[in-house]
Amino acid sequence: MEKNAVLVLQDGTVAEGTGFGSEGIAEGEVVFNTSMTGYQEALTDPSYKYQILMPTYPLIGNYGINRDDFESDKVQAEGFIVRELAEKPSHGKIKSHLDEFLKYHEIPGIQGVDTRFLTRKIRVNGIMNGILKYPYEVSELDDLKEKARNLKSISEFDLVDLVSTKRTKKYDAGGEKTVVLIDCGEKHSIIRSLLERRINVIQVPAKTPAEDIMGHSPNGILISNGPGDPERAGYVVETAKELINEKIPIFGICLGIQIMGLAFGAKTYKLKFGHRGSNQPVKDLRTGRVYITSQNHGFAVDAETLKDKNIEITHINLNDKSVEGFSHKELPIMSVQYHPEAHPGPWDSYYLFDEFLRMLR
């Protein structure tokens, strides 16, 4: 195949390959995901904003794209890097091929690159920015290297505001309890998980003030996942501080735990290469049980700065001992760094939505 696409990293690394999807340029952090399946869910997860996604599994696209596995209304990742694109996908629910899907959403992809080499480079050196260009000319490489070196850090953007809903949406499950979902870049599976438990959902923009949220008379609050540096979403942190004083049940997921950590006076930090995949081992410190979890984040709560005496760290990551969950000893507040709604990933942690429902009752 013709090598008509290129990936250039900020350290000058050049990986040539064959383009697919839409012609164009993608810029952002180059990150890897270790899931063997779930590329449709990952591509449409708003937490991948300003990131070029690279699965470590070598064959991608073999079951195509279906109508059921969207986590938002569009592809959120800036670009896609794969070892090999399946040319003849097969599945009972298939509606389009991955190549067609990326073309429709105007997202460039590159295949035929050594994703194992790139993954090892990121693990050793840490996350780095990059540029994916399809098509490209060899004469452009010096210019692309210069641009890659000078790309902005993800911490310079307020990505939450870019992906959050712009209007309030209501979902009636016919239940007795209602939760306000603060949308920092929610995955649709979070809403589905609530509706399946007959919890009514009111989805509000991330910049909605606490007063307006409480004006909906909710039984509880859920702060969703989302992209980027949590410190750039200070407005959500301030809202969380006010909601804590309302003594209402609060559940934070992924970015939500980072927001809650900042609200309680802790600090967050950037992980070397993040946790992205469906096989992250998490230990529940209260029971000793280990869960295999679905994760997608590049920042974490600093345990050493979580000084509030009423906060209990409940879960840790067994790979690097980072904080994966905490709860309040007196208030009905719980939060986890991983994704209990999965999609993709194991269903081991669905029970957390049931715990939240018990808190609402």
Active site residue 246: no
The residue to which tokens 């540096």 are assigned: 229
pLDDT, tens digit (0-9, with 9 covering 90-100), for 308-353 = 999 999 999 999 999 999 999 999 999 999 999 999 999 999 999 9
Q: Do domains 5-152 and 159-360 have the same CATH topology?
A: no
R_g (Cα) of the chain, nearest Å: 20
Residue 1 has pLDDT above 80, yes or no: no
d(CA 270, CA 273): 8
For domain 5-152, give the fold: Glucose Oxidase; domain 1 (3.50.30)
What mean pLDDT do residues 200-226 have?
Answer: 98
- Considering the chain, what is the average pLDDT of its residues? 97
Q: Is the dihedral angle over the CA atoms 240, 241, 246, 249 positive or is it negative?
A: positive
Compute the residue count for the chain.
361
Instruction: Provide the 3-class DSSP secondary structure of residue 280.
Output: strand
Q: Which of 173, 161, 189, 156 is nearest to 70 (CA)?
A: 189
pLDDT, tens digit (0-9, with 9 covering 90-100), for 99-123 = 999 999 999 999 999 999 999 999 9
Is it true that domain 159-360 has CATH number 3.40.50.300?
no
Query: Percentage of the chain with pLDDT > 90?
Result: 98
pLDDT at 289: 97
Name the pTM for this structure. 0.96
Among 71, 324, 341, 343, the one annotated catalytic: 341
Residues 6+ apart with CB under 8 A from 5: 16, 17, 18, 19, 108, 109, 110, 132, 133, 134, 135, 136
Greatest alpha-carbon pair distance for the chain in Å reads 64
Among 254, 324, 328, 343, the one annotated catalytic: 254
Active site residue 2: no
In the chain, where the domains are located: 5-152, 159-360
Active site residue 339: yes
pLDDT at 280: 96
pLDDT at 294: 98
pLDDT, tens digit (0-9, with 9 covering 90-100), for 239-291 = 999 999 999 999 999 999 999 999 999 999 999 999 999 999 999 999 999 99
pLDDT, tens digit (0-9, with 9 covering 90-100), for 297-306 = 999 999 999 9
pLDDT class of 2 with cuts at 50, 70, 90: confident
Exposure string over 168-190, b if 16+ CB within 10 A, otherwise e: eeebebebebbbbbbbbbbbbbb
